Amino acid sequence: MSQTPFRYHRATSVADASSLLAASDARPLGGGTDLLVSLEEGLEHAGLLVDLRSIPEGDTITALPGGALRIGAATRIDTLANDARVNAHFPALAQACAAVGTPALRNMGTLGGNLCQRPRCWYLRRAVPCHKNGGDSCPARDGENQYLAILDGGPCFIVHPSDPAVALSALEAVIEVAGPAGSRRVHIADFYVLPSERLGRETVLADDEFIVAIELPAHSAGGRQLYRKLMQRDAWDFALVSIAAVRRTDGDVRLFMGGVAPRPYRVNSSVEEDIASGGLDEDSMSALAQRAMYDAEPLSKNSYKVALAESLLRDAMRELGA
Ligand SMILES: Cc1cc2nc3c(=O)[nH]c(=O)nc-3n(C[C@H](O)[C@H](O)[C@H](O)COP(=O)(O)OP(=O)(O)OC[C@H]3O[C@@H](n4cnc5c(N)ncnc54)[C@H](O)[C@@H]3O)c2cc1C
Protein backbone atom coordinates (compact mmCIF):
# COMPACT_ATOMS: atom_id res chain seq x y z
CA MET A 1 0.00 0.00 0.00
CA SER A 2 1.30 3.46 -0.86
CA GLN A 3 0.00 6.83 0.29
CA THR A 4 0.82 9.73 -2.01
CA PRO A 5 0.02 13.28 -0.87
CA PHE A 6 -2.43 15.10 -3.11
CA ARG A 7 -3.96 18.56 -3.36
CA TYR A 8 -7.74 19.06 -3.15
CA HIS A 9 -9.87 21.63 -4.98
CA ARG A 10 -13.60 22.21 -4.83
CA ALA A 11 -14.72 23.03 -8.39
CA THR A 12 -16.97 26.08 -8.60
CA SER A 13 -18.35 25.44 -12.10
CA VAL A 14 -18.11 23.00 -15.01
CA ALA A 15 -15.61 25.41 -16.66
CA ASP A 16 -13.52 25.54 -13.47
CA ALA A 17 -13.48 21.73 -13.25
CA SER A 18 -12.55 21.47 -16.94
CA SER A 19 -9.58 23.76 -16.61
CA LEU A 20 -8.36 22.05 -13.40
CA LEU A 21 -8.71 18.57 -14.91
CA ALA A 22 -6.52 19.61 -17.85
CA ALA A 23 -3.54 19.01 -15.53
CA SER A 24 -2.09 15.57 -16.24
CA ASP A 25 -2.06 14.55 -12.56
CA ALA A 26 -5.66 15.67 -11.81
CA ARG A 27 -8.56 13.25 -11.23
CA PRO A 28 -12.28 13.97 -10.74
CA LEU A 29 -13.66 13.24 -7.27
CA GLY A 30 -17.24 12.27 -6.43
CA GLY A 31 -17.99 10.70 -3.04
CA GLY A 32 -14.45 9.26 -2.90
CA THR A 33 -15.69 5.81 -1.88
CA ASP A 34 -13.75 4.17 -4.70
CA LEU A 35 -11.19 6.79 -5.71
CA LEU A 36 -9.60 7.19 -2.26
CA VAL A 37 -9.26 3.41 -1.90
CA SER A 38 -7.89 3.17 -5.44
CA LEU A 39 -5.23 5.78 -4.62
CA GLU A 40 -4.29 3.83 -1.52
CA GLU A 41 -4.06 0.62 -3.54
CA GLY A 42 -1.96 2.28 -6.26
CA LEU A 43 -4.62 1.59 -8.88
CA GLU A 44 -5.08 5.35 -9.41
CA HIS A 45 -2.46 8.10 -9.17
CA ALA A 46 -3.28 11.77 -8.60
CA GLY A 47 -1.56 14.95 -7.50
CA LEU A 48 -4.82 16.93 -7.54
CA LEU A 49 -8.36 15.83 -6.73
CA VAL A 50 -11.07 18.01 -8.25
CA ASP A 51 -14.26 17.70 -6.21
CA LEU A 52 -17.25 17.86 -8.57
CA ARG A 53 -19.86 17.88 -5.77
CA SER A 54 -19.38 21.62 -5.23
CA ILE A 55 -20.48 22.56 -8.76
CA PRO A 56 -23.77 24.47 -8.31
CA GLU A 57 -26.75 22.30 -9.29
CA GLY A 58 -24.42 19.41 -10.13
CA ASP A 59 -26.65 17.16 -8.03
CA THR A 60 -29.98 18.30 -9.45
CA ILE A 61 -32.60 16.07 -11.11
CA THR A 62 -34.46 18.07 -13.75
CA ALA A 63 -37.59 17.07 -15.67
CA LEU A 64 -37.15 17.96 -19.35
CA PRO A 65 -39.99 18.71 -21.77
CA GLY A 66 -41.61 15.53 -23.13
CA GLY A 67 -40.80 13.31 -20.14
CA ALA A 68 -37.00 13.00 -20.25
CA LEU A 69 -35.02 13.39 -17.02
CA ARG A 70 -31.59 14.99 -16.58
CA ILE A 71 -29.58 13.80 -13.59
CA GLY A 72 -26.55 15.80 -12.43
CA ALA A 73 -23.48 13.55 -12.09
CA ALA A 74 -23.03 14.50 -8.43
CA THR A 75 -26.49 13.19 -7.51
CA ARG A 76 -26.20 10.66 -4.69
CA ILE A 77 -27.14 7.03 -5.40
CA ASP A 78 -29.50 7.11 -2.42
CA THR A 79 -31.30 10.17 -3.80
CA LEU A 80 -31.97 8.30 -7.04
CA ALA A 81 -33.18 5.20 -5.22
CA ASN A 82 -35.79 7.31 -3.43
CA ASP A 83 -36.70 10.02 -5.96
CA ALA A 84 -40.43 9.95 -6.76
CA ARG A 85 -39.98 10.78 -10.48
CA VAL A 86 -37.28 8.15 -10.98
CA ASN A 87 -39.42 5.53 -9.19
CA ALA A 88 -42.53 6.46 -11.18
CA HIS A 89 -41.03 6.67 -14.68
CA PHE A 90 -37.64 4.90 -14.59
CA PRO A 91 -38.06 2.24 -11.87
CA ALA A 92 -35.27 0.05 -13.29
CA LEU A 93 -32.80 2.80 -12.34
CA ALA A 94 -34.34 3.32 -8.89
CA GLN A 95 -34.14 -0.44 -8.21
CA ALA A 96 -30.54 -0.64 -9.44
CA CYS A 97 -29.56 2.26 -7.17
CA ALA A 98 -31.33 0.66 -4.20
CA ALA A 99 -29.26 -2.50 -4.89
CA VAL A 100 -25.89 -0.69 -4.60
CA GLY A 101 -23.69 -1.72 -1.64
CA THR A 102 -24.75 -0.34 1.73
CA PRO A 103 -26.72 2.71 2.97
CA ALA A 104 -23.42 4.48 3.72
CA LEU A 105 -22.11 3.86 0.19
CA ARG A 106 -25.39 4.97 -1.37
CA ASN A 107 -25.34 8.16 0.67
CA MET A 108 -21.72 9.02 -0.17
CA GLY A 109 -21.48 7.66 -3.72
CA THR A 110 -22.48 9.81 -6.70
CA LEU A 111 -23.91 8.56 -9.97
CA GLY A 112 -20.92 9.88 -11.97
CA GLY A 113 -18.46 8.15 -9.62
CA ASN A 114 -20.46 4.94 -9.67
CA LEU A 115 -20.41 4.79 -13.48
CA CYS A 116 -16.64 5.39 -13.51
CA GLN A 117 -15.65 3.19 -10.55
CA ARG A 118 -12.77 0.84 -11.29
CA PRO A 119 -13.15 -2.96 -11.58
CA ARG A 120 -12.82 -5.22 -8.56
CA CYS A 121 -10.59 -8.02 -9.95
CA TRP A 122 -8.50 -9.23 -6.99
CA TYR A 123 -5.27 -9.27 -8.99
CA LEU A 124 -5.71 -5.74 -10.32
CA ARG A 125 -6.65 -4.40 -6.88
CA ARG A 126 -3.60 -6.03 -5.31
CA ALA A 127 -1.25 -4.70 -8.02
CA VAL A 128 -0.35 -8.18 -9.29
CA PRO A 129 1.06 -7.57 -12.79
CA CYS A 130 -1.73 -7.98 -15.35
CA HIS A 131 -2.78 -6.63 -18.75
CA LYS A 132 -4.59 -3.66 -17.19
CA ASN A 133 -1.67 -2.42 -15.07
CA GLY A 134 1.11 -2.82 -17.60
CA GLY A 135 1.83 -6.55 -17.26
CA ASP A 136 1.74 -8.95 -20.18
CA SER A 137 -0.60 -11.69 -18.95
CA CYS A 138 -3.85 -12.26 -17.06
CA PRO A 139 -3.22 -14.10 -13.77
CA ALA A 140 -6.98 -14.55 -13.32
CA ARG A 141 -7.38 -16.57 -16.49
CA ASP A 142 -6.07 -19.69 -14.81
CA GLY A 143 -6.41 -18.36 -11.27
CA GLU A 144 -9.19 -17.01 -9.06
CA ASN A 145 -11.67 -16.15 -11.80
CA GLN A 146 -14.98 -17.05 -10.15
CA TYR A 147 -16.32 -13.47 -10.25
CA LEU A 148 -15.04 -12.57 -13.70
CA ALA A 149 -16.47 -12.42 -17.22
CA ILE A 150 -18.14 -15.21 -19.17
CA LEU A 151 -18.82 -13.02 -22.22
CA ASP A 152 -16.77 -10.52 -24.25
CA GLY A 153 -13.61 -11.12 -22.17
CA GLY A 154 -10.00 -11.18 -23.28
CA PRO A 155 -7.23 -10.43 -22.94
CA CYS A 156 -8.57 -9.21 -19.56
CA PHE A 157 -11.71 -10.65 -17.97
CA ILE A 158 -12.98 -7.93 -15.62
CA VAL A 159 -16.68 -7.34 -15.12
CA HIS A 160 -17.90 -3.78 -14.69
CA PRO A 161 -19.11 -3.47 -11.08
CA SER A 162 -21.81 -0.77 -11.48
CA ASP A 163 -25.47 -1.72 -10.96
CA PRO A 164 -26.81 1.64 -12.25
CA ALA A 165 -24.79 1.26 -15.47
CA VAL A 166 -26.79 -1.86 -16.36
CA ALA A 167 -30.13 -0.12 -15.80
CA LEU A 168 -29.01 3.02 -17.64
CA SER A 169 -27.99 0.84 -20.60
CA ALA A 170 -31.45 -0.73 -20.82
CA LEU A 171 -32.92 2.78 -20.57
CA GLU A 172 -30.67 4.04 -23.41
CA ALA A 173 -29.26 6.91 -21.37
CA VAL A 174 -27.09 9.62 -22.85
CA ILE A 175 -23.99 10.79 -20.98
CA GLU A 176 -23.06 14.48 -21.03
CA VAL A 177 -19.29 14.77 -20.95
CA ALA A 178 -17.11 17.87 -20.46
CA GLY A 179 -13.41 18.52 -20.69
CA PRO A 180 -10.89 21.16 -21.72
CA ALA A 181 -11.71 20.51 -25.40
CA GLY A 182 -15.42 21.22 -24.86
CA SER A 183 -18.46 19.09 -24.21
CA ARG A 184 -20.00 16.11 -26.00
CA ARG A 185 -22.88 13.68 -25.62
CA VAL A 186 -22.16 9.95 -25.64
CA HIS A 187 -24.85 7.27 -25.88
CA ILE A 188 -24.27 4.81 -23.04
CA ALA A 189 -23.95 2.00 -25.61
CA ASP A 190 -20.75 3.75 -26.75
CA PHE A 191 -19.53 4.80 -23.29
CA TYR A 192 -18.01 1.56 -22.00
CA VAL A 193 -15.18 -0.15 -23.87
CA LEU A 194 -13.97 -3.74 -23.93
CA PRO A 195 -10.43 -4.63 -22.78
CA SER A 196 -9.71 -5.63 -26.38
CA GLU A 197 -10.34 -1.98 -27.34
CA ARG A 198 -8.71 -0.17 -24.40
CA LEU A 199 -6.88 -1.82 -21.52
CA GLY A 200 -6.03 1.03 -19.14
CA ARG A 201 -9.57 2.40 -18.67
CA GLU A 202 -13.12 1.06 -18.89
CA THR A 203 -14.80 4.01 -20.65
CA VAL A 204 -14.24 6.25 -23.66
CA LEU A 205 -13.49 9.21 -21.37
CA ALA A 206 -10.16 10.92 -22.02
CA ASP A 207 -8.09 11.43 -18.86
CA ASP A 208 -9.14 15.09 -18.72
CA GLU A 209 -12.86 14.47 -19.30
CA PHE A 210 -15.64 13.97 -16.76
CA ILE A 211 -19.38 13.28 -16.64
CA VAL A 212 -21.55 16.37 -16.08
CA ALA A 213 -24.98 14.73 -16.27
CA ILE A 214 -26.90 11.68 -17.42
CA GLU A 215 -30.06 12.05 -19.50
CA LEU A 216 -32.85 9.49 -19.49
CA PRO A 217 -34.80 9.73 -22.77
CA ALA A 218 -38.57 10.09 -22.79
CA HIS A 219 -39.01 6.98 -24.96
CA SER A 220 -37.66 4.85 -22.09
CA ALA A 221 -40.09 6.19 -19.49
CA GLY A 222 -42.82 3.93 -18.19
CA GLY A 223 -43.80 0.56 -19.61
CA ARG A 224 -42.60 -2.39 -17.56
CA GLN A 225 -39.16 -2.17 -15.96
CA LEU A 226 -37.16 -4.14 -13.47
CA TYR A 227 -33.66 -4.62 -12.10
CA ARG A 228 -32.74 -7.90 -10.37
CA LYS A 229 -29.40 -8.81 -8.84
CA LEU A 230 -27.97 -12.09 -7.56
CA MET A 231 -25.26 -11.83 -4.90
CA GLN A 232 -23.20 -14.25 -2.88
CA ARG A 233 -24.48 -12.57 0.30
CA ASP A 234 -27.78 -10.77 0.63
CA ALA A 235 -26.29 -7.33 1.15
CA TRP A 236 -23.13 -5.25 0.77
CA ASP A 237 -22.05 -7.13 -2.28
CA PHE A 238 -21.46 -6.70 -5.98
CA ALA A 239 -23.59 -8.59 -8.49
CA LEU A 240 -22.62 -12.13 -9.41
CA VAL A 241 -25.12 -11.64 -12.22
CA SER A 242 -27.77 -8.96 -12.66
CA ILE A 243 -30.38 -8.00 -15.22
CA ALA A 244 -32.17 -4.83 -16.27
CA ALA A 245 -35.26 -5.53 -18.34
CA VAL A 246 -37.47 -2.94 -19.98
CA ARG A 247 -40.60 -3.38 -22.06
CA ARG A 248 -41.14 0.13 -23.41
CA THR A 249 -44.55 1.67 -24.07
CA ASP A 250 -43.93 1.14 -27.82
CA GLY A 251 -43.57 -2.62 -27.10
CA ASP A 252 -39.82 -2.86 -27.72
CA VAL A 253 -37.83 -4.89 -25.20
CA ARG A 254 -34.33 -4.12 -23.92
CA LEU A 255 -32.37 -6.63 -21.83
CA PHE A 256 -28.95 -5.90 -20.35
CA MET A 257 -26.97 -8.04 -17.94
CA GLY A 258 -24.35 -7.15 -15.33
CA GLY A 259 -21.63 -9.31 -13.80
CA VAL A 260 -21.13 -11.30 -16.99
CA ALA A 261 -18.95 -9.06 -19.20
CA PRO A 262 -16.48 -6.16 -19.00
CA ARG A 263 -19.35 -3.78 -19.74
CA PRO A 264 -23.14 -3.99 -19.47
CA TYR A 265 -24.00 -6.87 -21.81
CA ARG A 266 -26.86 -6.48 -24.24
CA VAL A 267 -28.74 -9.70 -24.85
CA ASN A 268 -29.00 -10.64 -28.52
CA SER A 269 -31.63 -8.43 -30.17
CA SER A 270 -33.34 -11.45 -31.74
CA VAL A 271 -34.07 -12.69 -28.20
CA GLU A 272 -35.43 -9.24 -27.27
CA GLU A 273 -37.67 -9.34 -30.35
CA ASP A 274 -39.03 -12.80 -29.51
CA ILE A 275 -39.85 -11.65 -25.98
CA ALA A 276 -41.55 -8.54 -27.37
CA SER A 277 -43.72 -10.75 -29.58
CA GLY A 278 -45.11 -12.44 -26.45
CA GLY A 279 -47.03 -15.71 -26.18
CA LEU A 280 -44.11 -17.60 -24.59
CA ASP A 281 -44.62 -20.70 -22.48
CA GLU A 282 -42.07 -22.02 -19.96
CA ASP A 283 -40.29 -24.21 -22.53
CA SER A 284 -39.86 -21.37 -25.01
CA MET A 285 -38.62 -19.08 -22.22
CA SER A 286 -35.99 -21.66 -21.27
CA ALA A 287 -34.97 -22.02 -24.91
CA LEU A 288 -34.68 -18.24 -25.27
CA ALA A 289 -32.63 -17.94 -22.07
CA GLN A 290 -30.24 -20.59 -23.40
CA ARG A 291 -30.02 -18.80 -26.74
CA ALA A 292 -29.20 -15.54 -24.92
CA MET A 293 -26.20 -17.25 -23.27
CA TYR A 294 -25.12 -19.14 -26.39
CA ASP A 295 -21.89 -17.14 -26.75
CA ALA A 296 -20.84 -17.58 -23.11
CA GLU A 297 -17.26 -18.82 -22.67
CA PRO A 298 -16.87 -19.45 -18.93
CA LEU A 299 -13.45 -19.54 -17.32
CA SER A 300 -12.34 -22.46 -15.14
CA LYS A 301 -14.34 -21.37 -12.04
CA ASN A 302 -17.31 -19.37 -13.24
CA SER A 303 -19.53 -21.61 -15.36
CA TYR A 304 -22.13 -21.27 -12.57
CA LYS A 305 -22.76 -17.75 -13.94
CA VAL A 306 -24.35 -19.22 -17.08
CA ALA A 307 -27.00 -20.99 -14.98
CA LEU A 308 -27.58 -17.83 -12.90
CA ALA A 309 -27.94 -15.70 -16.02
CA GLU A 310 -30.44 -18.11 -17.59
CA SER A 311 -32.44 -18.17 -14.38
CA LEU A 312 -32.55 -14.33 -14.20
CA LEU A 313 -33.54 -14.19 -17.86
CA ARG A 314 -36.48 -16.55 -17.29
CA ASP A 315 -37.58 -14.51 -14.25
CA ALA A 316 -37.36 -11.30 -16.27
CA MET A 317 -39.42 -12.78 -19.12
CA ARG A 318 -42.16 -13.80 -16.69
CA GLU A 319 -42.17 -10.38 -15.02
CA LEU A 320 -42.28 -8.57 -18.35
CA GLY A 321 -45.35 -10.62 -19.16
CA ALA A 322 -43.77 -12.38 -22.10
C1 LIG B 1 -17.76 -2.53 -0.13
C2 LIG B 1 -18.28 -1.91 -1.38
C3 LIG B 1 -19.43 -2.43 -1.97
C4 LIG B 1 -19.93 -1.87 -3.14
N5 LIG B 1 -21.03 -2.42 -3.72
C6 LIG B 1 -21.50 -1.90 -4.89
C7 LIG B 1 -22.62 -2.47 -5.53
O8 LIG B 1 -23.21 -3.43 -5.06
N9 LIG B 1 -23.05 -1.90 -6.70
C10 LIG B 1 -22.44 -0.83 -7.25
O11 LIG B 1 -22.88 -0.35 -8.29
N12 LIG B 1 -21.37 -0.27 -6.66
C13 LIG B 1 -20.91 -0.78 -5.49
N14 LIG B 1 -19.83 -0.22 -4.87
C15 LIG B 1 -19.20 0.90 -5.49
C16 LIG B 1 -19.70 2.16 -4.91
O17 LIG B 1 -21.04 2.33 -5.23
C18 LIG B 1 -18.82 3.17 -5.56
O19 LIG B 1 -17.67 3.22 -4.76
C20 LIG B 1 -19.41 4.50 -5.68
O21 LIG B 1 -20.62 4.49 -6.39
C22 LIG B 1 -18.45 5.42 -6.39
O23 LIG B 1 -19.02 6.65 -6.29
P24 LIG B 1 -18.18 7.88 -5.72
O25 LIG B 1 -19.01 9.10 -6.00
O26 LIG B 1 -17.76 7.67 -4.32
O27 LIG B 1 -16.94 7.83 -6.71
P28 LIG B 1 -15.43 8.22 -6.44
O29 LIG B 1 -14.82 7.24 -5.53
O30 LIG B 1 -15.31 9.66 -6.07
O31 LIG B 1 -14.87 8.03 -7.92
C32 LIG B 1 -14.82 6.75 -8.53
C33 LIG B 1 -14.10 6.90 -9.88
O34 LIG B 1 -14.88 7.70 -10.75
C35 LIG B 1 -14.18 8.90 -11.11
N36 LIG B 1 -15.20 9.94 -11.11
C37 LIG B 1 -15.91 10.43 -10.06
N38 LIG B 1 -16.84 11.29 -10.49
C39 LIG B 1 -16.72 11.34 -11.83
C40 LIG B 1 -17.39 12.07 -12.87
N41 LIG B 1 -18.42 12.89 -12.61
N42 LIG B 1 -16.97 11.88 -14.15
C43 LIG B 1 -15.95 11.04 -14.44
N44 LIG B 1 -15.28 10.34 -13.51
C45 LIG B 1 -15.67 10.48 -12.22
C46 LIG B 1 -13.08 9.06 -10.10
O47 LIG B 1 -11.96 9.77 -10.62
C48 LIG B 1 -12.76 7.61 -9.79
O49 LIG B 1 -11.92 7.07 -10.80
C50 LIG B 1 -19.30 -0.74 -3.72
C51 LIG B 1 -18.16 -0.20 -3.12
C52 LIG B 1 -17.65 -0.76 -1.96
C53 LIG B 1 -16.44 -0.14 -1.37
* Cβ(109) – ligand 1 distance below 6 Å: yes
Q: Answer with the one of 200, 219, 238 that is the final residue of a domain.
A: 219
- Nearest Cα residue to atom 50 of ligand 1: 101
% of the chain exceeding 90 in pLDDT: 96
Output the pLDDT for position 235: 75
Mean per-residue pLDDT, 95-107: 97
Q: Is residue 38 part of a domain?
A: no
Mean per-residue pLDDT, 8-32: 97
Q: Assess whether 287 and 307 both reside in one domain.
A: yes
* Cβ(32) – ligand 1 distance below 6 Å: yes
Mutate to test the pocket of ligand 1, among 13, 25, 27, 34 (most ligand atoms within 8 A of CB): 34
The confidence band for 231, taking pLDDT boundaries of 50, 70 and 90, is: very high
* Cβ(159) – ligand 1 distance below 6 Å: no
- Nearest Cα residue to atom 36 of ligand 1: 113
Q: Is residue 306 part of a domain?
A: yes
pLDDT at 2 over 60: no
* Cβ(35) – ligand 1 distance below 6 Å: yes
> What is the Cα–Cα distance from 33 to 283, expressed in whole angstroms?
44
Of all helices (H) and strands (E), which one includes residue 257?
strand 253-258
Output the pLDDT for position 3: 58
* Cβ(28) – ligand 1 distance below 6 Å: yes
Residues 6+ apart with CB under 8 A from 234: none
* Cβ(30) – ligand 1 distance below 6 Å: yes
Closest CA to 178 of 203, 208, 201: 208
* Cβ(230) – ligand 1 distance below 6 Å: no
H-only helix segments in the chain: 14-21, 35-41, 77-82, 84-89, 91-98, 103-108, 111-115, 122-125, 163-170, 269-277, 282-292, 304-320
Q: Assess whether 130 and 105 both reside in one domain.
A: yes
Output the pLDDT for position 6: 92
pLDDT at 299 over 90: yes
Output the pLDDT for position 4: 66
pTM of the model: 0.98
Output the pLDDT for position 321: 85
Residues 6+ apart with CB under 8 A from 158: 119, 120, 121, 124, 132, 148, 149, 195, 202, 262
CA of 117 to the centre of ligand 1 (A): 4
**185: which strand partners?**
176
> What is the Cα–Cα distance from 322 to 273, expressed in whole angstroms?
11
Mean per-residue pLDDT, 239-252: 97
Output the pLDDT for position 207: 94
Q: Assess whether 206 and 246 both reside in one domain.
A: no
Q: Assess whether 75 and 180 both reside in one domain.
A: yes
What DSSP designation does 196 have? Answer: T
The confidence band for 86, taking pLDDT boundaries of 50, 70 and 90, is: very high
Q: Answer with the one of 192, 219, 246 that is the final residue of a domain.
A: 219
pLDDT at 122 over 90: yes
Mean per-residue pLDDT, 268-273: 97
CA of 51 to the centre of ligand 1 (A): 14
* Cβ(113) – ligand 1 distance below 6 Å: yes
Q: Assess whether 234 and 214 both reside in one domain.
A: no
Report helix, strand or coil for 90. Answer: coil
Output the pLDDT for position 117: 98
What DSSP designation does 235 have? Answer: S
Q: Assess whether 198 and 244 both reside in one domain.
A: no
The minimum-distance atom of ligand 1 relative to the CA of 209 is: 43
Task: Give rounded-to-5 percent helix, strand, coil for the chain.
Answer: 35, 20, 45
Domain residues for 244?
Answer: 224-320
- Nearest Cα residue to atom 14 of ligand 1: 101
CA of 110 to the centre of ligand 1 (A): 7
**CA dist 151 → 39, 187, 293 (Å):** 29, 21, 9
* Cβ(31) – ligand 1 distance below 6 Å: yes
Number of domains in the chain: 2
Report helix, strand or coil for 85. Answer: helix
Output the pLDDT for position 5: 84
Q: Assess whether 165 and 228 both reside in one domain.
A: no
Q: Answer with the one of 180, 195, 219 that is the final residue of a domain.
A: 219
